[in-house]
Each structure stands twice: as C-alpha cells, then as structure tokens.
C-alpha cells in the first residue's frame, strides 16, 4: 500500500489481495486522524486482484467516517473481479466509483 497526498486529498494505492489477513493495514491507513476536519480520500483499487467481505466492510467504514468528518471517499475501480464484487454488494450505489485516478481527484461540481 502506498499513501500519497494530492492537493490535500489522501490517495491510497493498493495492490494484490484485500482479505481478512491483509485488511488490517488498510483499516489502519483509513483510520480518522484528529487533524482531518475535512477528510477527502481516494482509494485506488485498480491494481487489486481480489477483495473479500472484510475489504468491503473496511471501505464502508471509511466512507462513513469521511462523511462524518465532513469529507468524502471515492474509489478507483477498473473492470474485473473486484468491480463485480463491489457491484454485487451494491457498493457502487453508495460510494462514487471512477475508472481513473485523475477522474477521482477531479473537483466535484456544486449541486444545482
């Protein structure tokens, strides 16, 4: 896992498998900090080959934490097994998915 910062947005680049054995590192990386008043996070799953329910639960918890902190969470997901898993549990109806990191980092237009 690689954590970077892009204009105040935390970007987590993940690869490999996210399962009950590896999810602890993701959970620690996504833990809210006391200085994160306006929390904005992008999780790049484009290099993840497998994700089980523990990974899905970590993403859901991070999404709720970001919203509670007044921020947001977005995912970069490319077609494949991980996308199918996330769509199967309807996570795509709750968390914004983007096909590229550039799109996930783009400002969101204000609501009309």
Task: Please write the tens of the pLDDT for every residue from 77-86.
Answer: 988 999 999 9
Does residue 104 sit within a domain?
Answer: no
Q: pLDDT class for 70, splitting at 50, 70, 90?
A: confident
Can you give the pLDDT at residue 108? 72
How many independent structural domains does the chain possess?
1
Does residue 55 sit within a domain?
Answer: yes
Model confidence pTM above 0.75 = yes
Does residue 65 sit within a domain?
Answer: yes
List the domain range (segments joined by +) for residue 90.
Answer: 1-18+44-98
Can you give the pLDDT at residue 73? 94
pLDDT(34) > 80: no
**Strand-pair category, 2-6 with 9-18:** antiparallel
CATH number for position 73: 3.30.750.24
Does residue 80 sit within a domain?
Answer: yes
């Amino acid at each position: 896992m690689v954590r970077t910062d892009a204009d105040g947005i935390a970007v987590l680049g993940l690869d490999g498998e996210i399962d009950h054995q590896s999810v602890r590192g993701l959970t620690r990386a996504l833990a809210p900090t006391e200085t994160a008043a306006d929390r904005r996070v992008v999780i790049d799953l484009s290099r993840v080959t497998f994700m089980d329910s523990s990974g899905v639960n970590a993403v859901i918890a991070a999404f709720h934490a970001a919203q509670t902190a007044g921020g947001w969470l977005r995912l970069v997901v490319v077609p494949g097994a991980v996308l199918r898993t996330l769509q199967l549990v309807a996570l795509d109806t709750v968390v914004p998915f983007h096909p590229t990191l550039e799109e996930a980092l783009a400002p969101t237009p204000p609501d009309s």
